[in-house]
Amino acid sequence: LAGDIFDSERIAIGDIRFFMDVVRSIKPIPVLFLPGTWTHDSIFQKAIFRSHQFLDGKPENLYVFTKEAPETFKVTSGELAIHGRAILPDTDNPLDGIGPDPNVPFNVGLLHTGVALPQIPQEATSCALKRDHLEGCGLDYLALGHWHSFRRYFEDAKTVVQYSGSPESLSFGDDSGYI
C-alpha cells in the first residue's frame, strides 16, 4: 500500500479499526504499508502510524515503512524483497539508496511520489521520479502511490513503473476500482 490509505490526517477510530480488521482477515499474507500524504507528519510526529489507536490494534501481518532511510521487507519464501522509504530523500531522485537484493529473484520498490512529466513544471526541491532514475536501479517493479489513477509510466524501461490507482473514486474523472 503506497500511501494515502486514509484521506485525511484526522481519522476516525472506527476507520482505523476497519483497516486493521481487513488486514488481519488476510493473515498470514503480509500487508506492507507506506505512509502517504495524510498519514505521515514527520515534523510534529503526529503520524497516524505512531498513534496508540494504530499501534494497539496493529495486526502481526502488517509491516509499516517508517524510516527516512530505505527499508527492506523480505517475504518468508525468500523469493521477493520489497524496498521502500517513508520519507523521500533530500535529493531529486526518490530512488536514492534503494537497490535490489541480489539474493532474491524478484525486487519491488514502493514509493509515495509523483512522476516528472514535461507538461508539469517541477519545483527545484521536488523529488519526483524521472526516466533516468530507473537506469540501473535493479528493481523489477516499482509500485507508486500519490496519484490516484491507474497508470503505467516509462513503458520502455526495464523496471515496470505503475500507479495502482484508488479502489474508490476520489473525484469526478478518476479511474478507480484497482488495488
What pLDDT digit, counting tens, does each position of 126-165 carry? Answer: 677 888 888 889 999 898 876 656 666 778 888 888 767 6
- Whether the CB-CB separation of 67 and 34 falls below 8 Å is answered with no
- Top-confidence residue, 120 or 24: 24
For the chain, percent of residues with pLDDT exceeding 70: 72
pLDDT given at position 168: 55
Q: What angle do CA 28, 71, 126 make, to 5 degrees?
A: 125
Q: Residue 61: pLDDT above 50?
A: yes
For the chain, percent of residues with pLDDT exceeding 90: 27
pLDDT given at position 51: 79
pLDDT given at position 169: 55
pLDDT given at position 42: 47
pTM score of the predicted model: 0.80
- In angstroms, the CA 68 to CA 89 distance is 7
Q: Residue 170: pLDDT above 60?
A: no
pLDDT given at position 48: 73
Considering 63-67, 125-129, 169-173, the range whose residues carry the highest mean pLDDT is 63-67
- In angstroms, the CA 49 to CA 35 distance is 8
Q: Which residue is listed with cell 523480505?
A: 74
Q: Which residue is listed with cell 534503494?
A: 98
Q: Which residues pair with 86 in a beta bridge?
A: none
pLDDT given at position 125: 44
For residue 13, name the pLDDT band (cuts at 50, 70, 90).
confident
Q: Which residue is listed with cell 511520489?
A: 113
Q: Which helix (H) or strand (E) holds 119?
A: none
